[in-house]
Amino acid sequence: MKKTPFCATSQKDQEVMFQTLGISDFDDLFAAIPDHLRSAELNMPDGLSEMEMMQHIRKLARKNSTNLVNFCGAGFYDHYIPAAVNALASRGEFYTAYTPYQPEASQGTLQAAFEYQTAICRLTGMEVANASLFDGGTALIEGIMMALRHTRRNKVLVDEGVSPIYRKMLRCYTQNLSVDYQEIPMSGKGIADRAAITAQLDAAVGAVVLQNPNFFGCLDNLTDLIEQIHSVKALAVMSAYPIALSQVETPGAMGADIVTGEGQSLGLPLNFGGPYLGFMATRKSLVRKMPGRIVGETEDAQGRRGYVLTLQAREQHIRREKATSNICSNVQLCALRAIIYLSLIGREGFLEVGRECMDRASYAWHKLTKIEGVEPAFNRRFFNEFAIRLPKDATEVVSSLVDQGFAAGFPVGRYYKGMENVLLLAFTEKRTKEEIDILVAKLESALKA
């Protein structure tokens, strides 16, 4: 008999079991199901051995271009991941466990989630955080829906400085719900347009959606705008980049009500788009409106401290169609990576990473904007990412630099009409001064060509 991979019973085991059940083969197990439902044999190859499978995937993997010097970010960043993150998150006790339904047998997962929630509060300057959501985009839509539930309103204003990748998702998710969804163009300075947003603020607006630094990397202090938003009793929902929060003013200090973001930069590989880490934080007064799992501290009968999933009355497995969201899981393993990463680099290391990113971006900005014909797209302060306007189509320029081993940035024309010549470049601690110097030289010659 052929071996079936990863199945544990021997033929002898199976015979014992057949005998117990009074049957003679597997088909007898399915006797109650009408025969006409039985499918033909699947049209796919027989199973591969482990070695053959690895060879096949290695062969495919080699077809990817790797070793590109990467200046492409746009919300997803190539940060260094300390070896201990992989070593710890690869422990089977973590990754082969499931949702901590039995808290006594899951204190490892639960305490790590509590530590993660604490870190997210401290990064964002907020009071409470959930145990994570799928990714930054779904976290943002959940944040908006939470604001609409709280305010019992249906109008959403979204600044166009919010990631266009996320705005496409927002348009998709709101299409079947009675949501009045409006996007507001940025001001010419590349930041949220105070006048345009304020003009739209009325008693129907439940959420105003902002991002800092925004998609173009521009920094802002949104305190004044959030005051305006609060004056009509709407909520400010802000998307944030966690590495920037090492240096940049927190959404909490600016008065944001709900903060979401993509946590990929906290120890997760880029992985061609996922799995990623959606984080969400809010004020304590809004916690019962927050979707997703939440871990809380408590104690056992002997007074020993422990952690449990709490406030579950909000969730779908109890509330069913009345739940705050249809989401029933978090991305615990990704949140675990984030808290391990933040613990490893620590308070000082976090500041250092932020500083290194800022310094590299600043160095590159001065060099790049000196190239003839290259101008800053916006005259703004930035954290680790900025946009420049080239004298020719940015997609063509980037494509030509790929052959020289450089992912020279992200051409934004795909998402912003009239910005076909604009290139968005991101800088992390992984990029060296030499790499930046070569990028500048290559870009300069590509523009001359």
Partner 1 sequence: MKLIYEKSSPGRPGIRMSSLKISETEEIPTKYLRSKPAELPEVSEAEVVRHFTALSRMNFSVDTHFYPLGSCTMKYNPKACEAAANLPELTDVHPLWPQLRGGGMLTQGSLAILYNTERLLSEATGLAEFTLQPMAGAHGELTGVMIMAAYHKDQGNPEKDHIIIPDSAHGTNPASARVAGYNVVTVPSDENGVMDFDLFMETLNEKTAGVMLTSPNTLGVFNPRIKEICDAVHAVDGLMYYDGANFNAIMGRYRPGDMGFDICHLNLHKSFATPHGGGGPGSGPVGVVEKLRPYLPISRVEKTKDGTFALNYDEPKSIGYIAPFYGNFGMISRAYAYILSLGKDGMLGTSNRAVLNANYLQEKLRPLFNTEYNGRCMHEFVYSGDVLKQYGVHTLDLAKGMIDRGIHPPTVYFPLNVSEAIMVEPTESEDLDTLDHFVDVMEELFEIAKTDPDQLHAAPVTTPVGRLDEVKAARDMRLSYT
Q: How far is CA 106 from CA 94, 95, 336, in A?
A: 9, 12, 14
Question: What is the closest distance, in whole angstroms, from the C-beta atom of residue 402 to partner 1 in the complex?
Answer: 5
Q: Which of 347, 370, 392, 448 binds partner 1 (CB under 8 A)?
A: 347
Q: Which of 184, 191, 235, 327 binds partner 1 (CB under 8 A)?
A: 327
Question: What is the closest distance, in whole angstroms, from the C-beta atom of residue 350 to partner 1 in the complex?
Answer: 5
- 241 scored as a contact of partner 1 (CB under 8 A): no
Q: Which is nearer to partner 1, 201 or 371 (CB)?
A: 371
**Residues 287-326: x/- map of binding to partner 1 (CB under 8 A)?**
x-----xxxxxxxxxx-xxxxx-xx---xxxxxxxxx-xx
Dist CA 133 CA 139 (whole Å):
6
By CB under 8 A, the residues from 131 to 150 that bind partner 1 are 131-132, 134-138
By CB under 8 A, the residues from 195 to 214 that bind partner 1 are none
Question: What is the closest distance, in whole angstroms, from the C-beta atom of residue 445 to partner 1 in the complex?
Answer: 18
CB atoms within 10 A of CB 282: 28
Dist CA 272 CA 291 (whole Å):
27
- 351 scored as a contact of partner 1 (CB under 8 A): yes
Stretch that binds partner 1, among 9-17, 190-198, 202-210, 228-236 (CB under 8 A): 9-17
By CB under 8 A, the residues from 79 to 108 that bind partner 1 are 80, 82, 84, 87-88, 90-108
Stretch that binds partner 1, among 39-47, 146-154, 194-202, 231-239 (CB under 8 A): 39-47
Q: Which is nearer to partner 1, 50 or 372 (CB)?
A: 50
- 121 scored as a contact of partner 1 (CB under 8 A): yes
Q: Which of 250, 260, 265, 384 binds partner 1 (CB under 8 A)?
A: 250
Question: What is the closest distance, in whole angstroms, from the C-beta atom of residue 198 to partner 1 in the complex?
Answer: 20
Dist CA 76 CA 428 (whole Å):
11
Dist CA 29 CA 96 (whole Å):
29
Q: Which two structure tokens, joined as six digits, stand for 11? A: 């033929």
Q: Identify which of 215, 157, 224 has the alpha carbon closest to the alpha carbon of residue 190.
A: 215
Dist CA 79 CA 238 (whole Å):
23
Dist CA 115 CA 344 (whole Å):
13
- 356 scored as a contact of partner 1 (CB under 8 A): yes
Dist CA 135 CA 118 (whole Å):
19
How does strand 406-407 pair with strand 410-411?
Answer: unpaired
Q: Which residues contact 320 (CB under 8 A, 6 or more apart)?
A: none
Q: Which two structure tokens, joined as six digits, stand for 157? A: 């204003």
Q: Which residues contact 264 (CB under 8 A, 6 or more apart)?
A: 76, 77, 136, 270, 276, 277
- 152 scored as a contact of partner 1 (CB under 8 A): no
Stretch that binds partner 1, among 149-157, 181-189, 203-211, 360-368 (CB under 8 A): 360-368
Dist CA 136 CA 11 (whole Å):
48
- 435 scored as a contact of partner 1 (CB under 8 A): no
Stretch that binds partner 1, among 191-199, 369-377, 385-393, 396-404 (CB under 8 A): 396-404
What element of type H or E holds 54? helix 50-61
- 154 scored as a contact of partner 1 (CB under 8 A): no
Q: Which of 24, 231, 271, 369 binds partner 1 (CB under 8 A)?
A: 271
- 438 scored as a contact of partner 1 (CB under 8 A): no
* 237: three-class secondary structure by DSSP: strand
Q: How many residues bind partner 1 (CB under 8 A)?
A: 201
Dist CA 113 CA 335 (whole Å):
7
Dist CA 33 CA 212 (whole Å):
57
Q: Which is nearer to partner 1, 160 or 201 (CB)?
A: 160
Question: What is the closest distance, in whole angstroms, from the C-beta atom of residue 379 to partner 1 in the complex?
Answer: 14
Stretch that binds partner 1, among 147-155, 231-239, 393-401, 438-446 (CB under 8 A): 393-401
Dist CA 419 CA 412 (whole Å):
7
Residues paired with 262 in a beta bridge? 278
- 350 scored as a contact of partner 1 (CB under 8 A): yes
Q: Which two structure tokens, joined as six digits, stand for 254? A: 């600016």
By CB under 8 A, the residues from 40 to 79 that bind partner 1 are 41-50, 53-54, 56-58, 60-66, 68, 70, 72, 74-76, 78
- 441 scored as a contact of partner 1 (CB under 8 A): no
